[in-house]
Chain A
Amino acid sequence: MNVVPQPAFLAVDGWALGPLVALTLGVIALLLLEVVPQRENGNRGPIVSLLALGAAGWAALRVAHDKRVLFEGMFVHDPMTVFFTLLFCAVGALSVFSAWDYLKRTKINQAEYYALMLSSIMGMIVMAASNDLVTIFLGLELMSIPLYIMVGFRRTRPDSTEAALKYFLLGAFASAFLLYGIALLYGATGTTNLARLGTFLYDTPLPGNPLLLVGALLVFTGFAFKVAVVPFHMWTPDVYEGAPTSVTGFMSAGAKAAGFAALLRVGLRALGPIQADWTSLLAVLAFLTMTVGNFTALMQPNLKRMLAYSSIAHAGYIMVAIAAGGQEGAAAAVFYLAVYSFMNLGAFAILTMLGKGRDERVLVSDLAGVGFRQPLLGIAMTVFMLSLGGIPPTAGFMGKIVVFSAAMKHPALLWLVIAGVLNSVVSVFYYLRVTISMYMKEPEGEGVHVSWGAAASLAVLLTLAATLYFGMQSQGLWVQAQAAVAGLL
């Protein structure tokens, strides 16, 4: 806690809001600077975004050990906020790196892209820091609306536009569900504040109250859509495939983490007292999500689509941790989200490099022979795939360890753990297909062109380092994850 005497109180509050302020300033700067013409393919967008993200991360770190409740209890600054703020800044920075060359190559290098991305990150931070259903909704919209536009950023391509429209329509439905759920919860309990909701339910459990039940279900549906939990996952493959690759990477890591962060807050803070009633429902959903994701990913020829289904499967693994509940389950989910963000962003950073000019080569078969022609890219992709499959010594393996050990605590969830590990065997099959293509197949004709760029390479190197480091030295991240959820219960 803060040891500085009270006059510093305002300063702490200021710093706690620092990340949001920095990102807002970044957005404004990006948009205003558009007045000043820059040469084609200038680097202003990414540089300004990196500065804003750096400032945001720095502000969060300055008050990393403080705890504050702001705006009449609507916004909390606690270890979880700090953890997720830093995670989102990292995701943002890595996404900027992988977008840098990709946007120029595909001729969509516009400052608006970065402005939208920064506001989306702002929404993610608000979601993770919300202590009130209304703020969560604000954050969700602030995150989603820029994403709808980003998905459709390659507006000359019909699949991009289609994806944007699909995402927008279904996203609007999900928002409506969430809002309706919030309204019902308010009707049942008389408050939208998470802490007060929790206290109310603790004192008055309201068993079988239809308002509460339906409200909670609708709120969950809203989140389940965002994080792509079966049966609300239908949008994922089309949107992931149609969106520009740099956007897919960004949303697969960031939006998922934000959705789960808010879900954790609502689940533990507000609905914690009735958690036990949910365990079996969550367990079944976790099982379905893992299994449907993995089995549909098996035969996808398109890497972006395959990774879309894989992201559904990973949402399932995280759901296992959430079904396990409690401190350990929540910490495991947070740990897994961080690990997943790095390995998945790494894989997408590599995808942004495949192809020449506006051309995108993202079929599994396009990778034929790449492993030996581009040894570093091959090794990095192999590590990401193995990590996604949960093979040691990578971060994905440690993620699975913490998730499954959290679930093992409940003897009733043993079946889910066994289903989970068997699922990871299934998943290895399609992740191996990528290595098969890279190392064991010869390309027909020329083989795919790899558009190397300094920034994208940096993104790959950083994520590769993180994936290997957290695989072998996971203690630090695990302690941080535990600290992040410690205040929730």
Chain B
Amino acid sequence: VAHLPWLSLLVFLPLAAAVLVLLLPASSARTIRLLATGAALVEFAVSLPLWWRVVPGAPGFQFEESVSWIPSIGARYHLGVDGVSSLLVLLTTFITVIAVLGAWTAVEKRSKQFFALVLALEAGMVGTFFCLDLLLFYVFWEAMLIPMYLLIGVWGGQRRVYAAVKFFLFTMAGSVLMLVAILSLWFTQRNMGGAPTFDLPTFYAMPIPPEQQFWLFLAFAFAFAIKVPMFPLHTWLPDAHVEAPTAGSVILAAVLLKMGTYGFIRFAMPLFPNALLVCGPWIAWLAIFGIIYGALVAMVQPDLKKLVAYSSVSHMGVAMLGLMAMNSQGFAGSMMTMLNHGVSTGALFLLVGVIYERRHTRKIADFGGLWKVIPVFSVIFLVVMLSSIGLPGTNGFIGEFLVLFGAFRHDILWATVAATGVILSACYMLWMFQRVVFGTVTHEENRHLKDLSLRERLVFAPLLVLIFWMGVAPQPFLDRMQPALDRTLQLTQARAVQSAAPAVPAAPPAAPAADTAQGGVR
């Protein structure tokens, strides 16, 4: 078992399952669903050991696999995992199970292709989190767009084609410049006399002149900021979310957006720390603006899905702010916010999907008084909504608290302004909840809605468990992410010093040589 390429298995298992699903005859809808669910469950089970087998304090990456891929340009098939990526992969495999289970009855048309694409998407997401080679990362990063594009475009709502193309083009427009930056890094490294490589740890050790860092950072940050998405690059998100099928929205919100923040943690920040020092405050203010803007726009949305989509803009702003605080609390808070947002927003999209399946409308005005009609749904909705607001005792609280704490340590003004966004989030969520769930039943159609089925309850049960677990006892999560985050932070700070003074790296080899020379003279 020790020599099993575990990470590769995690990447390619869903892909193999996807091919298998595609080969089934389209008529056997039940078998397709069972196989897809089974595959997602097996993938989740195989990924579970990430929780205890990844040692949080160990330096560097673990379970590394490194095989030569394109030797002429030095690209390698290099996978590895640390405390950050392990948690995000666990989130991915968990959410995929939830999304597949949630889509059992929602997708009637072409369910075979649907489940195959969800599984292929999972392979792409897991691969993106594990990659330690920049070219391989780019391959996974771009390849992942294709299944998501098709999920939105084929199974989406009215304006699905527009939303799918917008999603694809926005993300690609951002990432092609990152590709140029990756190639530029490759040349810088080669011009310094190194063997050509795309290896991330090698770049971690390479000083980059600050003036060059600035442009490279902009290219990387642009790609990631579109994915996060940060204001003002967020316009693709409401469209994609509203048009995507429920499972697509869940995965998009829960995992795909995290790719952006993960990209900052793994690539943009540690590689270009000097540029970060220059751009950080700007990004932080954009993030703060995004928190408030997202919340304000969410407040006036008549459509439930759009409201949740804009709340994502707001929450991901919180995650970005935590990163830009550049301290231990901010990082941990940001990472917690990423996980929380994955769980809570994923659950919110599922809940919207549940009532959409019953009523075929998502307009807030079409609901009201659901509490009496579908109590189980309403209670779950209440808990998820409160966790999204960040009520103490639920998962949302700890992430927001740590981010604000980190921001406060960096700049009181940041924390003060950002905190108003947190208050606003309570406003739009509670108001929405009041209009949908409380009051009297205003529409006759709502009087006979069916409450959650057993399958749907099974879908929400693990989400509720996580909401309370992460809210009441976040320590196991923090323990796992903190060492890796602190290492990233130290690396970023150390590299900032190293690159700012180009003479420094040259000095140590020179100094001992001088010493020995003097010793020889004596």
A residues in contact (CB < 8 Å) with B = 372, 375, 382, 386, 391-393, 397-398, 401-402, 404-405, 408-409, 414, 417-418, 421-422, 424-425, 428-429, 432, 435-436, 439-440, 474-475, 478-479, 482
Contacts and interface: CB of A to CB of B under 8 A. Distances in A.
B107 to A, nearest CB: 14
A391 B143 contact: yes
Contacts of B34: none
21 contacts: A372-B113, A392-B142, A392-B143, A393-B143, A401-B73, A404-B179, A408-B184, A408-B187, A414-B180, A417-B183, A418-B180, A421-B176, A422-B176, A425-B173, A425-B176, A435-B153, A436-B165, A439-B154, A440-B153, A475-B71, A482-B72
A478 B72 contact: yes
B70 A474 contact: yes
Given A424-B176, A478-B70, A397 B139 contact: yes
B146 A386 contact: yes
A391 B169 CA distance: 12
B150 interface: yes
Contacts, number: 84
A475 B68 CA distance: 10
Q: Lowest 9 A-B CB distances belong to which pairs?
A: A421-B176, A392-B139, A440-B153, A425-B173, A475-B70, A408-B183, A392-B142, A405-B183, A392-B143
A481 to B, nearest CB: 10
Contacts of A408: 180, 183-184, 187
A425 B70 CA distance: 25
Interface string B54-73: 00000000000000011111
B120 to A, nearest CB: 12
B180 A428 contact: no
A478 B75 CA distance: 13
Nearest to B165: A432
Given A405-B73, A478-B70, A428 B139 contact: no
Nearest to A421: B176
Contacts of B164: 436, 440
A432 B168 contact: yes
B143 A418 contact: no
B142 to A, nearest CB: 5
Given A428-B169, A439-B153, A482-B72, 6 more contacts: A375-B22, A392-B142, A392-B143, A405-B183, A475-B71, A478-B70
Contacts of B172: 391, 425, 428
A425 B168 CA distance: 9
Nearest to B144: A392
Interface of B, secondary structure class, is helix
Interface string B158-199: 001100110011001100110110011011000000000000
Nearest to A437: B161
Contacts of A424: 176
A404 B182 CA distance: 11
Contacts of B180: 404, 408, 414, 417-418, 421
Contact of B183 (A398, A404, A478): A404
Interface in B69-104: 69-73
Contact of A418 (B110, B145, B160, B177): B177
Interface of B: 22, 69-73, 110, 113, 135, 138-139, 142-143, 145-146, 149-150, 153-154, 160-161, 164-165, 168-169, 172-173, 176-177, 179-180, 183-184, 186-187
A439 B147 CA distance: 12
A83 to B, nearest CB: 16
A475 B135 CA distance: 14
Contact of A475 (B72, B165, B169): B72
A474 B169 CA distance: 26
A401 B139 CA distance: 11
Contact of B173 (A398, A401, A422): A422
B24 to A, nearest CB: 12
Contacts of A382: 146
Contacts of B142: 391-392, 397
Contacts of B154: 439-440
Contacts of B70: 398, 474-475, 478
A440 B138 contact: no
Nearest to A379: B22
Nearest to B138: A392
Nearest to B179: A421
Nearest to A432: B165
Contacts of A432: 149, 165, 168
Nearest to B145: A391
B139 A421 contact: no
A486 to B, nearest CB: 13
B186 A405 contact: yes
Nearest to B172: A425
A440 B160 contact: yes
B150 A439 contact: yes
Contact of B161 (A372, A409, A436): A436
A322 B179 CA distance: 20
A419 to B, nearest CB: 11
A421 B177 contact: yes
A417 B180 CA distance: 7
A159 to B, nearest CB: 31
Q: Which of B71, B135, B146, B179 has the most CB of A within 10 A?
A: B179
A267 B254 CA distance: 53
B214 to A, nearest CB: 14
Nearest to A471: B139
Contacts of B73: 401-402, 405, 478
B72 A391 contact: no
Contacts of A440: 153-154, 160-161, 164
Contacts of B179: 401, 404, 421
A474 B71 CA distance: 10
B365 to A, nearest CB: 30
A482 B72 CA distance: 10
Contacts of A405: 73, 183, 186-187
Nearest to B110: A372
A401 B153 contact: no
A479 B70 CA distance: 10
Contacts of A425: 169, 172-173, 176
Contacts of B153: 435-436, 439-440
Contacts of A392: 138-139, 142-143
Contact of B169 (A402, A418, A429): A429
B29 to A, nearest CB: 15
Contacts of A391: 142-143, 145-146, 172
B288 to A, nearest CB: 30
Contact of B135 (A372, A386, A401): A401
A336 to B, nearest CB: 15
B102 to A, nearest CB: 23
Contacts of B160: 440
Nearest to A407: B183
B74 to A, nearest CB: 11
Contacts of A402: 73
Nearest to A428: B172
Contacts of B176: 421-422, 424-425
Contacts of A398: 70
A386 B113 CA distance: 18
A137 B321 CA distance: 65
Nearest to B142: A392
A424 to B, nearest CB: 6
